Amino acid sequence: EPEVTQTPSHQVTQMGQEVILRCVPISNHLYFYWYRQILGQKVEFLVSFYNNEISEKSEIFDDQFSVERPDGSNFTLKIRSTKLEDSAMYFCASSRHKINTGELFFGEGSRLTVL
């Protein structure tokens, strides 16, 4: 069964460093998403991406964040200068349709720890 894969599974970084989280969505999917979950809190929407551009973003997704689909298969989330409060689990998701079905397929997540 096709799945969304994310790397790395866990990354530890120093405050102020740049981090890139990578995702390989399911191959025939059209919409891509990043969510995050701070330990013990809700899963929060960050950004959606369609047709090579950001479709929607939340207030959390400020200028420190960027997304890119550099080669038609990978979908990356970059955090320019990490802060302690960026420590969280980051989930990538993809959707086959123009989200009419509301069925998002999530990866297993990348745990980011900022020291």
For residue 53, CA distances in Å to 31, 48, 57, 60 come to: 10, 9, 11, 18
CA dihedral 4, 79, 85, 6 (to 10 degrees): 20
Structure tokens given for 52: 């090579």
Contact between 78 and other proteins per CB under 8 A: no
Q: How far is the CB of 83 from other proteins (least distance, A)?
A: 21
Shorter beta-carbon distance to other proteins: residue 7 or 17: 7
Which of 11, 13, 24, 50 is the binder for other proteins (CB under 8 A)? 50
Residues 18-37 that bind other proteins (CB under 8 A): 31, 33, 35, 37
Separation between Cα atoms, residue 80 and residue 63, nearest integer Å = 8
Identified binder of other proteins from the candidate list 4, 79, 112, 114, rule CB under 8 A: 4
